[in-house]
Amino acid sequence: MPRSLEDYRDIVGDEIISQIHRKAMGILGKHVVHINSTYQGGGVAEMLQSLIPLMNDIGVDTGWRILHGNPEFFSMTKSFHNALQGQDIEISDIKKRLYLQTNENFSSYTHIEHDFIIVHDPQPLPLLKFYKKQQPWIWRCHIDLSNPNPDLWEFLKTFILKYDTVIVSHENYVRNDLPVAHRLFPPAIDPLSRKNMELNELVVKKTLKAFQIPSDKPMITQISRFDKWKDPLGVIQVYKQVKEKIDCRLVLCGSMAPDDPEGWDIFHEVQNQAEKEIQAGDVLLLTTENNLLVNVLQRTSAVLIQKSIREGFGLTVTEALWKGRPVVASRIGGIPLQIENEKNGFLVDPEDVDACADHVIRILKDPQMAEAMGAAGKETVRKHFLITRLLGDYLDLIKSFLVCPNLSNGSEKCFS
């Protein structure tokens, strides 16, 4: 059963609930649609699974469309994702045709007649080209845009320039060479979802038993896709250093998103590097799509790691903080928005294996510090990174178009 806004009252308080209802006034009955490339796997799909029912609950009619494509298309758009984060890419005419053709095919059987269109990430970006624009189109990019491959960026800008607003997760992703209004919407988690809800001890024990996860020693965990940008090979190196000082177990858990064809290749690389530790039962690799398992792992781990090389925001960090667990994470992307170093976690340079291992060891040796960090982290998320705040962000944006159709930046004045 879909959750209602009132279900969050005990978590966020009466003022937030009332504020959201006030923001919705004036846009009740408007039709909004979100478009992305997968219903499951990854933070974008998870946010939409919570956000869309809440938008409908408060009276903003909201739908969801999934772009369909073949494996070749998703392999190509994965390379786009990598290139937006700085990797080299060769953009051939064949790739461009496939990119456009997939979106055109989708447009041929998908009616979009809503009042507001919100397109997520690069996969469905060119859709606007195949519709007669009669309403605001908004591009929500969840990727780190601070250093995109210049060739790909110039190609994608052809489509982005037609949008009315670009939403990014961090001020560092605002592009000076993109003369389109920008909004900053940090992502958020749903505290009532299966992945983040409170759990009783019996559920925790049964879940650990079902997945054959021992609890005989401290557990270090990274929850993330098997993706080179998440640096699972680096996590293995961190674990090996920690293991020399403290007997512990490492868990790497990540779902295989349908629009990420590289996942299994990275998984096998990790498997090869940690073969000895896996055989000994000291390193566990889990690929199941199970939000309850993720919840249990985050709640029972002694330390959560997020050793990313690039990171748009890092919702797994948000999730871990919400569980009241200490986190050691890379000082990149949106992670420093969440972690205040040495207050609610530790920040390290992405390439610094030694520092990451040292902080993990420090946490394992100091339970009181770990508890204090966990409590501070949970409060950070409650104040800034829950789904109710994201809902309010979208309501503010939609309302800004209605107040001033020619402006999408929320300014108080309209100009002709």
User: How confident is the model over 363-406, as pLDDT tens digits?
Assistant: 999 999 999 999 999 999 999 999 999 999 999 999 999 876 66
Q: Are 255 and 235 in contact (CB under 8 A)?
A: no
User: How confident is the model over 74-124, as pLDDT tens digits?
Assistant: 999 989 998 998 889 989 999 999 999 999 999 999 999 999 999 999 999
SS3 call for 198: coil
First to last CA, the chain: 46
Q: How many angstroms separate the CA atoms of 24 and 26, rounded?
A: 6
Full set of structural domains in the chain with CATH:
5-188+386-403 (3.40.50.2000), 201-384 (3.40.50.2000)
Instruction: Give every residue of the chain whose pLDDT is below 50, as ranges.
Output: 408-416
Tell the burial category of 146 from Cβ atoms under 10 Å away from its Cβ (0-12, 13-18, 19+): middle
Q: How many angstroms separate the CA atoms of 336 and 112, rounded?
A: 37
Determine the pLDDT at residue 186.
94
What pTM value is reported for the model? 0.90
- String of DSSP letters for 105-120: HHHHT-----SEEEEE
Q: Which residues pair with 66 in a beta bridge?
A: 36
Instruction: Kindly give, in sequence order, each residue whose CB lies less than 8 Å from that of residue 128, ignoring residues fewer than 6 positions away.
Output: 117, 119, 137, 159, 162, 163
Question: Side chain identity at 158, as an amino acid letter?
Answer: T
**Pick from 337, 318, 307: which is nearest to 377 by CA?**
318
- String of DSSP letters for 17-86: HHHHHHHHTTTTT-EEEEEES-SSSSHHHHHHHHHHHHHHHTT-EEEEEE----HHHHHHHHHHHHHHTT
